[in-house]
Amino acid sequence: MIKLEAITKVYAMGQVDVVALDGIDLEIQRGEFISIMGPSGSGKSTLLHILGALDTPTSGRYLLEDVDIADLDDGELSRIRNKHFGFVFQSYNLFGELTAIENVMMPMIYARVPKRERLSRAKELLASVEMDHRLNHYPSQLSGGEQQRVAIARALANRPTLILADEPTGNLSSVQGGEILDILCRLNDQGTTIVMVTHDLQVGSYARRLIALRDGRIAIDEPVAERFKPLSSLFLQKQAAQ
C-alpha cells in the first residue's frame, strides 16, 4: 500500500540544520494497525505528516500504491488527502461553529457528495461511534471523548484507505482513551489500515505492529505479541467486581 525509500526530512533552524528523519525505509500493507513510538523529537509526528502528504520529504521516495507522490501536483495531492486518508488529532480539530453532524459532513462537501447522501452517511457514522444522540451538539457541548468520537467519524467520511492518528488519546482519561482505542481496534478488525503515533507503550500495544523511532531512524520494527485488553473493558470489569 505504502512504500517509503530512504526518506529524510531536514529543517533549517537559523544557521543549523535539524534532521527530523534520517533514511527511513518502511512498507505498510493494507489492513495493518501500526503504532509509531519514540521519545520527543524522535520524528514520530514528522513521519506521520509525510505519510499523510501534509509535509514533503527533503529526499527519498514515497510510493502510494506504486505511484510516486512527488509526481503529483497540489490538486492531486489534495484529492488524495481527502479521499484516501482520514486524520485524527490529539486536539480533535473540530470546527467550533459546526454541529457534530455538520463536522462529519464537511469532508464529503469537498468530495462533492450529494447532500442527501452526506446526511445519511454522517448519521450512520456517528451511530457507529455511539454519538447518534448528539448529532446537533456543538464541540463546546461535548466532552473530550465525545469530540474524539466525532473526529473519528469525520475521518471515515470518505471511506479512506488509511487512518492516521496522532496521539488520539493524549487529552483523554484512561476510560475515554480506552473507548477510543476500542473503536480503532474494531475499525482495523473490519479492514481499515491504521497508523497511530503515541508516546504511551500501553496505548501502542493496541496495534499489531510496533515501530520505535530514535533520532529520526527506525530502531525497532516488530509485531506486537498480544494486544492489550481494552482499558474500558478492564474498567467495567473492576466496577462489576466492586
pLDDT tens track for 79-98 = 888 888 999 998 899 999 99
pLDDT tens track for 12-51 = 888 899 999 999 999 999 999 999 999 888 999 999 999 9
Other C-beta atoms lying within 10 Å of the C-beta of residue 54? 15
Section 210-219 average pLDDT: 94
Assign 46 to helix, strand or coil: helix
Q: What is the pTM of this model?
A: 0.87
Domains in the chain, CATH or no CATH each: 2-241 (3.40.50.300)
Burial (CB count <10 Å: 0-12, 13-18, 19+), residue 173: middle
pLDDT tens track for 148-176 = 999 999 999 999 999 999 999 988 988 89
Section 107-135 average pLDDT: 94
- Exposure pattern of 9-35 as b/e (b: 16+ CB <10 Å)? beeeeeeeeeebbbebebebeeebbbb
Give percent above pLDDT 90 in the chain. Answer: 74
Q: Which of 138, 33, 153, 32 is nearest to 86 (CA)?
A: 153
Whether the Cβ atoms of residue 99 and residue 175 lie closer than 8 Å to each other = no
